[in-house]
Amino acid sequence: MRGTQYQRDYLLAPPRDFLDEIVIADGKKSRKYEAPTDVAETLVGIVDAAASAIVVTRESPTQVPDSYRRQGATLTQLTTNVDRTPTFTALVRKRVTVTRADGISFVVRVTLPAGYREGTRLPGMFWFYPYEYTDQAGYDRTLRTENVNRFPSSGARTMEFLATQGYAVANFDPPIIGEAGKMNDNYVSDLRMNLYAVIEALDKAAIIDRDRLGIGGHSYGGFSTVNALVHTPFFKAGIAGDGMYNHTLTPTGFQSERRDLWDGQKMYLEMSPMLYADKMQGALLLYHSMEDQNVGTNITSSIRMMQALRSEGKVSALFMYPYEDHGPVARENLLDQWARWTAWLDLYVKNPQPKPIGAK
């Protein structure tokens, strides 16, 4: 039986893979393997029926993942992988626990340029994706799955790459807390508290320049980004991708929300940032994949959101990628996307210009 052990104090006791042998006749169980605590070690396969030898992957924050044959305490290296992104690996990474005005706390993962000097304030980019919980303990349980011993990994939308361009990147999954089945009644108020708490903590730590902040997210994070721009005054710019900005277009539920539009009409309307387009602050860059098959993020939402912003004279843009599903994957599109993102943020966040007279 293979599994992973999770501990409450995941920083001191990260998740550990294990392998148990169970005798079917009497149910007796014996431990055949347990991962060490000083590195991240993942069980890949068993070499023989008795599991006297196994194959594992070992990694650490500075050691690229490699495969090993483990026989007891003896390790034989099988691969010699190379770090293909040493510039990304060299970035400075911090964990900051922030506390909201109501006492709820959550973790923000901050990434800074290599060689960062303490006390240097940088333009900030927040990348986030809210989740709903009924209490603090529900949020805390989600943290246990993170293995802090892993090698830094990246993907197509790893916003931490912006740290190589001089930004302080804050990545977090802020909690929306409320009564079971009605958490979203607190969505807007919790969104404000979450973002304010992050800004206050990073400002107090002299990490960010609070007058040069951007925010972004994909899917539900994109939807939340636009809500942040219409319900708070904190951000100079936003990047929102493949989101839903008018929840009357998802009348039978969305994300973890199970009430329909008629049972939760006030909440549905309050969580539809298109209805507050006239109040948006900051320059918004929208993107959407033209073959998005996600049922909750029809491309119509981005088109109508863009029309609303144009009608209100807001600084905004929408670009759409043909033949892509819920997020671009083609190399050409990803390169185009990053070029647009960095140019947008450099213009409106890193080097913000005064608003023209009469601009909304």
pLDDT (0 to 100) of residue 355: 63
pLDDT (0 to 100) of residue 101: 95
Mean pLDDT confidence for 173-191: 96
27 Rama class: left (phi>0) / alpha (psi -120 to 50) / beta: left
Cβ proximity of 348 and 236 under 8 Å: yes
pLDDT (0 to 100) of residue 356: 58
Angle formed by the axes of helices 187-204 and 220-231, to 10°? 80
Bridge partners for 33 per DSSP: 19
290-308 pLDDT, tens digit per residue, is 999 999 999 999 999 999 9
Mean pLDDT confidence for 68-75: 95
138-166 pLDDT, tens digit per residue, is 999 999 999 999 999 999 899 999 999 99
Provide the sign of the torsion angle of the four alpha carbons 305, 311, 317, 321, taken in this order. Answer: positive
Is 80 exceeded by the pLDDT of residue 347? yes
What is the residue-averaged pLDDT of the chain?
Answer: 95
Q: Output DSSP code: residue 102.
A: T
Is 90 exceeded by the pLDDT of residue 176? yes
| CATH no. for 86-350 | 3.40.50.1820
pLDDT (0 to 100) of residue 353: 74
pLDDT (0 to 100) of residue 358: 61
Where does the pLDDT of residue 63 fall: very low under 50, low under 70, confident under 90, or very high at 90 and above?
very high
The residue extents of the domains of the chain are 2-77, 86-350
190-221 pLDDT, tens digit per residue, is 999 999 999 999 999 999 999 999 999 999 99
Is 80 exceeded by the pLDDT of residue 9? yes
Cβ proximity of 100 and 194 under 8 Å: yes
d(CA 357, CA 360) in angstroms, rounded, equals 9
Cβ proximity of 146 and 93 under 8 Å: no
Global pTM reads: 0.93
Mean pLDDT confidence for 341-349: 97
Q: What angle do CA 212, 329, 175 make, to 5 degrees?
A: 50
pLDDT (0 to 100) of residue 352: 80
Q: How many CB atoms sit inside 10 A of residue 151's CB? A: 19
Is 90 exceeded by the pLDDT of residue 360? no
242-282 pLDDT, tens digit per residue, is 999 999 999 999 999 999 999 999 999 999 999 999 999 99
Is 80 exceeded by the pLDDT of residue 357? no
